[in-house]
Amino acid sequence: MRQENSTSGASLERSRRHWLGGAAAAFLSAGGWSRTAHAVRVSEPETSKRVRDESAALIPFQKLTPAARGKMLPVVQKPTLFRRMPTEQIACHPALFTFLVRYPEVVVSMWRMMDATKLSVKRIGQYLLDSNDGAGTTTQVELVYGTSNMHLLYADGTYSGPLFRRELQGQCVLVVHSDFQKNNRGEDIVTCTLDVFIAVKNAGVDLMARTIHPLIGKTADHNFAESARFVSQISEQAAKNPAGMQRLSERLPHVAPEVRRKFAEQVRDSVAETQTAPATTESAAATAATPRGAAPVAQRR
């Protein structure tokens, strides 16, 4: 009987984490990867109002469409939870990093091939994804705005499971900051930060969310670091074995053929650029996106 209660409690705790982290599932649901690549923690997590306000002030709302602003502002202005994940620094080709932020189904597909996650991600539009974490949370994630240094994503999710008697709804705004430089050995280094604003609709749930935030926050921090490490590992393997990575791209399950083709091209281009680029310290720029919810952004090629 004691073992049964313990299992039930663990299941309930997993459900809590799945719900509150569900909107960011495409980015935060991974763990247990090889340690050949590594992520260096540059700063600790932040949840203060000061940092939240600073993050909100950096969001270029003026460049978004009225529809995009209308659904994102309420979440950013009055979130149930805010968390800035620890800033991580990884070795990764800039354009490959940007590609994987914009096409997270590539990373998730690799995880599923490794039988390392139950998360599923399906692209249903040019900038729109459906995700299911396999534990009761379904989420629709939209890439609203993207440049080489900032990506804005809006997620609308629901949870139906043993934690609550009724279905819960919530929205999430994710802000991905990235900075690209070369170290003194000429290697590409990416410094990445993820700010998460979560608004839970149902009355009474916000108190529970705030109560268990320290627990789920630590889990999210760990998963973000592991995800960053895995992205670094993809870049490392692409440089060491580009032909193998391109072959892998051809058999990624649940990834559209066009996305698989783009990934193979990105691997090829990244390797070619690395082999011909001079070892100088410079900022790296990636092609800017113009998602549906954003005003046109000047492209750099």
Domain count, the chain: 1
Whether residue 282 lies inside any domain: the answer is no
C-beta of residue 198 within 8 angstroms of C-beta of residue 80: yes
Q: Is residue 43's pLDDT more than 90? A: no
Digit-coded pLDDT (tens) for 66-105 = 999 999 999 999 999 999 999 999 999 999 999 999 999 9
- CATH number of the domain to which 215 belongs: 3.30.530.20
Residue 188, domain member (yes or no): yes
Arithmetic mean of pLDDT, 166-189: 92
**The dihedral sign for the CA sequence 101, 96, 192, 58:** negative
User: Distance between CA atoms of 292 and 139, rounded to whole angstroms?
Assistant: 18
pLDDT in tens, 188-221: 999 999 999 999 887 566 655 555 555 567 888 8
Would residue 295 count as lying in a domain? Answer: no
152 assigned to some structural domain? yes
CB neighbours of 209 closer than 8 A, spacing ≥ 6? 20, 80, 81, 198, 200
The reply to whether 252 falls in a domain is: yes
- Do residues 24 and 174 make contact, with C-beta atoms less than 8 angstroms apart? yes
User: Would residue 223 count as lying in a domain?
Assistant: yes
Strand partners, 31: none
Q: What predicted TM-score, i.e. pTM, was given to this entire model?
A: 0.78
Please state the φ and ψ torsions of residue 243, each to the nearest 5 degrees.
Answer: -65, -40
The domain of 84 spans: 9-276
Query: Is the residue at 39 inside a domain?
Result: yes
In a domain, 287, yes or no: no
Tell me the mean pLDDT in the region 8-25. Answer: 44
